[in-house]
Structure 1
Amino acid sequence: MDADQIGALFTRAEGSYLCARWGRPIVPVVFGVEDATLGVIKGAVEAVVALAGHSMAETDTELGANLMLFFVRDWDELRGVPKLDQLIPGLMPLLDRLEAAGANQYRVFRFEPGDAIKACFVLVRMDGHLSDLPAETLALSQAAQMMLTWSEGAFAGASPLGQVEGRAVLRPEVAAVIRAAYHPVLPVVGRDASHALRLAARISG
């Protein structure tokens, strides 16, 4: 990818640029899946975190878990989750919008004072399309999308995944962007499109 293509991955519809990475070890917890699928999801998170050169932990001293993944059949199920509206301000209006749009996934990020990612809430409605996907494919896709603050249209035209011998893998260019964004020489947050030039240079280098 060149700098323009990378920039498009982090440029919002209104034109602002934001590429933020996690600033603390990731501690995932998963709701709404069977035990067998739980291991698949956590394994996918571990794989993408390792790719980035980031770290995981058993607990977050402030939040307990800082990556929460909710898998539901209907958005209305989330209205009854105790205290979820305290973790996600504006949850009820958000669910109204997701229902109206027929959306099947959404990610809510919370940030540190320095704007690194502090927590992420992954909301997935298992509609017909997502239910047809192998668990490994769905898990890897969600793991990749929570690692950085991708724009809403980053993967609208193409999935972050590809296929190798029938197995889902991260597309090489997406993996390269994740690795570059987590390189220690780059800032944890980029708010200017020039950040995409630095990512491109890191990838080509």
Structure 2
Amino acid sequence: MTPQEIEALFTRADGSYLFARWGRPIVPVVFGVDDKTLGTVKGAIEAVVGLAGHQMAETDPELGVNCMFFFFRDWDELLEVPDLDRLIEGLGPLVAKLKEADANQYRVFRFDEQNAIKAAFVFLRMDAELSQVPAETLALGQVVQTVLLWSDRAFTDASPLARVPEGDRVILRPDIAGVIRAGYDPVMPAVAQDPSHALRLAARVGREQ
């Protein structure tokens, strides 16, 4: 990928550049799925975290769990989740906004003192559209969008996933995989707001290739 293409992945709609990765091991939990889908989601998490060279853990000393995936049919169901309003500030107005927009997915991030990611909440309303997406594809796509703080416009025109004709499989795009690995390089900062950071990412992606 060119530096300009990588910069676009972390340039928000207001023109600001913002990159952030997880600053602590990821401790996931999944709500609203059967055991088979649970295994699929956790498998996707393990694969992407392994790709990044990051870590998972059994518990987070501050939060217990820090990466929550919610699968449900109606946004109002979130209002019934015990203590979720304590984790998500302004949950009521947010639910109302998402209902009005007829949204079927939303992600919320929380950050530590250094502005690295310390928690993520993934909400998936399983409407007719999402229900048609294979569990493996849905899980991988959501985990990829949670492992880094991408731009709000990063994947509006192109998915981070690609279909492989052989076996009709869906995989993470190699260029996006390269950006994830580069972003988690130990010599790279956990947080960056200067677009020159994209040049450093591009250099590492280029060396991989």
TM-score range, shorter chain: over 0.9
Alpha-carbon shift at residue 103 of structure 1 (Å): 1.3
* Superposition TM-score, scaled by structure 2 size: 0.96
Q: Cα distance, 1:104 vs. partner?
A: 1.1
For residue 115 of structure 1, give the secondary structure of its aligned residue in structure 2. coil
CA-based RMSD: 0.8
**CA offsets 1:90-111 (integer angstroms, 9 cap, x no match):** 1111111111112111111111
Which residue of the partner structure matches residue 4 of structure 1? 4
Aligned amino acid, residue 183 of structure 1? D
The alpha carbon displacement at 1:49 in A equals: 0.2
The amino acid that maps onto 2:184 is Y
Q: For 2:27 and 2:147, locate their aligned partners in 1 and report how far apart those are by CA, in whole Å.
A: 12
Alignment of 1:123-138 (within 5 A): 123-138=123-138
Tell me how far 1:202 sits from its aligned partner.
1.0
Q: CA deviation at 1:188?
A: 0.4
After superposition, the C-alpha distances for 1:105-135 in whole angstroms (9 at most, x for unaligned) are 1111111101111000011111111100111
Does structure 1 residue 179 correspond to structure 2 residue 181? yes
Counterpart in 1 of 2:26?
A: 26
CA–CA distance in structure 2, aligned partners of residues 34 and 204 of structure 1: 41
Structure-2 residue corresponding to 1:14:
14
The DSSP-based 3-state class of the residue aligned with 2:100 is: helix
Q: Secondary structure of 2:79's match?
A: helix
Take 2:102 and 2:181, find their aligned partners in 1: how far apart are those partners?
33
**Residue 145 of structure 1: CA displacement?**
0.5
Aligned to 1:191: 193
Give the secondary-structure state (helix, strand or coil) at the position aligned to 2:147.
coil
Which whole-Å CA distance do the structure 1 matches of 2:96 and 2:16 have between them? 25
Which residue, out of 159, 168, 171, partners 2:170?
Answer: 168
The aligned runs of 1:97-108 (5 Å cut-off) are: 97-108=97-108
Q: How much does 1:35 deviate?
A: 1.0
Give the Cα–Cα distance (whole angstroms) in 2 for the partners of residues 103 and 6 of structure 1. Answer: 27
Give distance in 2, aligned partners of 1:200 and 1:87: 35
Taking every aligned residue pair, what percent have the same amino acid on both sides?
Answer: 66
The residue identity in structure 1 corresponding to 2:161 is L
Tell me the equivalent position of 1:71: 71
Distance in 1, matches of 2:159 and 2:74, equals 23
Distance 2:128 2:142 in 1: 17
